[in-house]
Amino acid sequence: MSPAASQLPAAGSAGGPYDSVRDFLNDLEARGRVERIPEMDQDAFEMTAFAYRLLDRLGYEKAPAFVVERVKTGGQWREGPVLGNQFGSWVDEALVFGVQNISEDQEEMYWAVMNELFGRLDSGGRWQHIPPVEFSNAADAPCKQVRLKGDEIDIEQFAWLQNNPADAGRYINMGAVFVDDPEFGSNVGTYRCQVQGPRQIGVNMGPGQHAWRILNSMRKRGDKVARCAVAVGVDPITFVTSSTKMADFGVNELDVAGGLRGKPVEVVRCETCDIRVPAHAEMIIEGEIPLHETAPEGPYGELFGFLGPQVPENFFMNLKVVTHREKPWIQNSFTGITLDMPKGPQTAAEFNRYKQLIPNLTGFYTHKGTIGIVFVRINKRFPGEGMAAGQQVSANPGQNKVVIVVDDDVNIFNPVKVLHAIGARWQPGDATLIVPQTQMLVPDPSKPQTFLSSKIVIDATRQLPAEGGPKTFAPVSRQLLAESFPELFGQTDAKWGDIFAKWGG
Ligand SMILES: Cc1cc2nc3c(=O)[nH]c(=O)nc-3n(C[C@H](O)[C@H](O)[C@H](O)COP(=O)(O)O)c2cc1C
């Protein structure tokens, strides 16, 4: 049950960076952003349907994180808790990144997160590094409270979920997968792991992912197996570095996580190998990936909300040791439905990079819950600037299929305002660029080929006469009113604010 507003910590208090996912959830809960549910039957897909309806009814910014204490999955009732939708709003992200003055205003929190994160980029636009440190007393590390070895392991006993009826089975889908290599160093990436038996899980790194490159080089070198560890329930910042391209190949994501946290990640050595894993994780699954064998994996309900195909030949891991906290917390990604990863670092890094390329850039935003559609805001002064800005952003090899450029007076945090600008300021004939085919890595189901997509730039800035626009652009009525009566909107809020509040405004 959410606490009453009077029980909340005072606005302005913020706890991040957190050492564990528990600390983060406790803070979220103290702010009334967690819904607890005693039990749900996921064999009847109750949690998936709940996730859909939660977001249908409340939207991405308002929907809380949810915690289900006990779950029926794989034919049995199992103890959780299982966590979903943990990184929904910019207010939640502000907590993660230790913003000091927390408010409920999404736009304000977006800028607060950006400003916090800009400060953690170096002058070259790279994330600062702080290497991990060993946890002081490894034997007492939280992630090692319970130790299971060999035949004691039954990974199926934990509350992993099957998200969709057509999925191949239950998945560990928010784990941080660690591999170490003498040549390339340590790598951490989030790759979903299908539960394939009591002591076998799939490890689904897509082609080109850093761990995929490392395992393939090991294979070419003639290695038989790769040691691997999957950390489940790591702290939010370690998770975001594991699940976003924030570290170049060969760079340890834990160094980046330390830089983002402003203090090192505490690690412990695995039981079976030298891989270092976060000491405060909920669970560590250790094992070996046979490099010359594969197993089929999937189908699985993917990121854009479509059912991906089965991968016939996929890496898998034989489990050797599992260590975990008492009553470990399970994070689940309802992939394509809930928000499972903070977006701040990726947005801040891109904003920072584009700022170098587009000096008059004043805003850059992809709405939570959408993929591939980006709003770019510029303070336009000269002909061609809107289209040039759009071309820079659409050149991103990862994403940005639809780039919409607007003037500085358009509120890019409100999609209706952007659509309005398209309706009122955009001429499709003159101010559109279609790139017939270029690189795009995100798995958009409309793409005819895996790494290729067409893209579009819509320059919805007011077109200047030199760009084929009207001689003078009609003035905006609201702007004229505000210029004539600068106090009017403030006075209106003061006089009739209670009416707006009564209607939820
Ligand atoms: C919840 C979640 C699940 C993910 N699952 C996969 C996956 O199964 N396979 C994959 O290749 N990438 C997956 N990703 C994206 C990768 O984690 C991301 O590209 C990351 O940068 C990979 O690490 P790397 O850069 O060290 O290869 C997932 C991301 C999230 C947030």
Side-chain half-sphere CA neighbours of 242 within 13 A: 29
Q: Is 240 in the pocket of ligand 1 (CB under 6 A)?
A: no
CB 204 near ligand 1, within 6 Å = yes
* pTM, rounded to two decimals: 0.93
Q: What's the 399 CA to ligand 1 centre distance in angstroms? A: 15
Distance (Å) from CA 353 to ligand 1 centroid: 22
Shared fold status for 133-325 and 358-470: no
Instruction: List all residues 6 or more positions away from 328 whose beta carbon is below 8 Å from its beta carbon.
Output: 158, 232, 233, 282, 283
Residue pLDDT tens, the chain, 505 long = 333 333 334 443 457 899 999 999 999 999 999 999 999 999 999 999 999 999 999 999 999 999 999 999 999 999 999 999 999 899 999 999 999 889 999 999 999 999 999 999 998 999 999 999 999 988 899 999 999 999 999 999 999 999 999 999 999 999 999 999 999 999 999 999 999 999 999 999 999 999 999 999 999 999 999 999 999 999 999 999 999 999 999 999 999 999 999 999 999 999 999 999 999 999 999 999 999 999 999 999 998 889 999 999 999 999 999 999 999 999 999 999 999 999 999 999 999 999 999 999 999 999 988 989 999 999 999 999 999 999 999 999 988 999 999 999 999 999 999 999 999 999 999 999 999 999 998 888 898 888 899 999 999 999 999 999 999 999 999 999 999 999 999 999 999 999 999 998 8
Q: How far is the CA of 82 from the centre of ligand 1 (A)?
A: 20
Regarding the beta carbon of 243 and ligand 1, being less than 6 Å apart is answered yes
Q: What atom in ligand 1 is closest to the CA of residue 253?
A: 26
Ligand 1 centroid distance, CA of 163 (Å):
17
Task: Tell me the residue ranges of DSSP E strands in 118-261.
Answer: 133-134, 146-149, 171-172, 175-181, 185-189, 193-197, 200-202, 225-232
User: Does the Cβ of 191 fall within 6 Å of ligand 1?
Assistant: yes
CATH classification (class only), 133-325: mainly beta
How many whole angstroms from 210 Cα to the centroid of ligand 1? 10
Q: How far is CA 351 from the centre of its chain?
A: 16
For residue 342, report the distance from its CA to the centre of ligand 1, in Å.
13
Residue nearest to atom 16 of ligand 1 (CA): 243
Which strand (E) or helix (H) includes residue 217?
A: helix 210-221
Tokens of 353: 């990079």
Q: Domain segments of the chain: what residues?
A: 5-118, 133-325, 358-470, 475-505
* Ligand 1 atom at minimal distance to the Cα of residue 190: 17
Q: Does domain 358-470 have CATH number 3.20.20.70?
A: no
Give the pair of three-digit tokens for residue 41: 């039957």
Nearest residue CA, atom 15 of ligand 1?
243
